[in-house]
Amino acid sequence: MLDRKAADAVNCDMAVCSLSIRQSVTGLPVVGGSAARSLAVLPLLGALSGQPAHAARPSHAPQPLFIFSECAALLDDDPEQTSDYIASHRVAGREWAAKRCEALAQVNMGDPAAAAAILDDLARSGSAAVDTDSDASRAAAATDAARAWLAAGRPSRAEASAAFGLGLAPTSTPLRLVRDRALLRLGRSEEVLSDVSSIPSDAANLPDTRLLRATAERMLGRLRAAHVDIDAAAAASPDDPSILLERGVIRQRLGDGLGARQDWERVVELAPDTHEGDSANQDLTLLASDPDTALGPASSASTTASPAPVGFAVRTTTPPSTAVSRSPAGPALRRDADNMSLKPAP
């Protein structure tokens, strides 16, 4: 039970009581109003409960931990959300991974050159990061950097990034594929054929390896072999716009105007707002304006539909080139850029 003074103090706050009781209990001067009564009673109630008398403080839940896979999942649909994700998660100790995700989003938002420089630096300085120094992580960043350099139209830089990554992970198939794409862009088709022939053509890699072979063979004028390889790539991935675009080029070079038109029309149907779609539209326009020239047999003209990095593509401002009018001296960007969703290298 409360002692007499405590009981009187509580009652003083709830009802009228004598001034003498109030003063004897609280030790405060006698003043009027409810404020004085509250000031008197709060410390006493705190003492009676055994708890310190202070105002309630709001509790703040700790930020969730930054997880790279969660951040990367935002890259497909809305890369701008990655900034919000990073800001709302704890990145201490994971700064390297957060920078990588931010750079990948930057590629998808249309600035591949700036992002490539960041990714390249992450790959080369990964050992200084507090959250990772594994060769696998650095090699993945090098793969991303090479892909971004390709998307930015910088094949020499792409080849350098891929070569650095292969020094960390010599057997990496993604790195070999992106390096071979860079070599195609540099006109080094024989090197591509030599390397791609030793890449395992399993179900996951077959469309890309056969597309690379077909492109290299076409650039070297080996159109029959290119046709065999591009048909194999199309059988493995029948709705890949890049494969259909390349097959249309090869068919055109072999004089199959109808087949070329069908492939390019299918590209426009599948990917109307992409680099591939723009290139196919230009090829169709040239085909319609001058079919005799466009559909003639193989000549000195050559086209270079370089395939893009596996699981990676970005929006860029690189203008598409017309397939039937490019020369071997000027490899054109095809599948390396535009309108697919960037996914980080594994």
> Does 37 score more than 50 pLDDT?
no
Residue 342: inside a domain: no
> Does 115 score more than 60 pLDDT?
yes
Same domain, 218 and 146: yes
Same domain, 93 and 216: yes
Instruction: Please tell me the predicted confidence (pLDDT) of residue 102.
Output: 94
> Does 248 score more than 90 pLDDT?
yes
**Among 136, 94, 92, 140, which residue's Cα sits nearest to residue 120?**
140
* Residue-wise pLDDT tens digits, 227-236: 999 999 999 9
Q: What is the mean pLDDT of residues 223-252?
A: 97
Beta-bridge mates of residue 65:
90
Same domain, 308 and 234: yes
| Dihedral sign from CA coordinates of 91, 141, 345, 279 | positive
Give me the amino acid identity at 111. D
Count the residues in the chain: 346
> Quick one: CA torsion of 204, 205, 210, 216, rounded to 10 degrees?
150
User: What pLDDT band is residue 200 in, cutting at 50, 70 and 90?
Assistant: confident
Instruction: Please tell me the predicted confidence (pLDDT) of residue 289.
Output: 84
Instruction: Please tell me the predicted confidence (pLDDT) of residue 111.
Output: 93
pLDDT exceeding 70 applies to what percent of the chain?
64
Residue 314: inside a domain: yes
Same domain, 116 and 31: no
Instruction: Please tell me the predicted confidence (pLDDT) of residue 77.
Output: 81
Residue 293: inside a domain: yes
Which segment, 37-51, 172-186, 311-325, is predicted with the most confidence on average?
172-186
Same domain, 38 and 158: no
User: What pLDDT band is residue 60 in, cutting at 50, 70 and 90?
Assistant: low
Total tally of structural domains belonging to the chain: 2
Instruction: Please tell me the predicted confidence (pLDDT) of residue 335.
Output: 37
Instruction: Please tell me the predicted confidence (pLDDT) of residue 256.
Output: 94
Which segment, 42-56, 114-128, 161-175, 192-206, is predicted with the most confidence on average?
161-175
Same domain, 138 and 192: yes
Residue 333: inside a domain: no
Same domain, 170 and 26: no
Give me the amino acid identity at 98. A
Q: What is the rounded CA–CA span in Å between residue 335 and residue 240? A: 10
Q: What is the rounded CA–CA span in Å between residue 14 and residue 250? A: 95
The 3 state secondary structure assigned to the chain is CCCHHHHHHHHHHHCCCCHHHHHHHHCCCCCCCHHHHHHHHHHHHHHHHCCCCCCCCCCCCCCCECCHHHHHCCCCCCCCHHHHHHHCCECCCCHHHHHHHHHHHHHHCCCHHHHHHHHHHHHHCHHHCCCCCCHHHHHHHHHHHHHHHHHCCCHHHHHHHHHHHHHHCCCCHHHHHHHHHHHHHCCCHHHHHHHHCCCCCCCCCHHHHHHHHHHHHHHCCCHHHHHHHHHHHHHHCCCCHHHHHHHHHHHHHCCCHHHHHHHHHHHHHHCCCCHHHHHHHHHHHHHHHCHHHHCCCCCCCCCCCCCCCCCCCCCCCCCCCCHHHCCCCCCCCCCCCCCCCCCCCC
Residue 59: inside a domain: no
Domain extent, residue 38, equals 4-49
Same domain, 270 and 149: yes
Q: pTM of the entire structure?
A: 0.69
User: What pLDDT band is residue 272 in, cutting at 50, 70 and 90?
Assistant: very high
Decide which of 2 and 21 is more confident. Answer: 2
Residue 120: inside a domain: yes
* Residue-wise pLDDT tens digits, 123-176: 998 654 445 558 899 999 999 999 999 999 999 999 999 999 999 999 999 999
Query: CATH no. for residue 208?
Result: 1.25.40.10
Residue 292: inside a domain: yes
Q: What is the mean pLDDT of the chain?
A: 76
Residue 280: inside a domain: yes
Same domain, 109 and 24: no
Same domain, 187 and 241: yes
Q: Which residues contact 173 (CB under 8 A, 6 or more apart)?
A: 199, 200, 205
Q: What is the mean pLDDT of residues 257-262?
A: 95
Same domain, 174 and 264: yes
* Residue-wise pLDDT tens digits, 277-297: 999 999 999 988 876 655 544
Burial zone of 21 (CB within 10 Å; 0-12 exposed, 13-18 middle, 19+ buried)? middle
Instruction: Please tell me the predicted confidence (pLDDT) of residue 46.
Output: 45
Same domain, 38 and 187: no
Q: Are 248 and 292 in contact (CB under 8 A)?
A: no
> Does 205 score more than 70 pLDDT?
yes
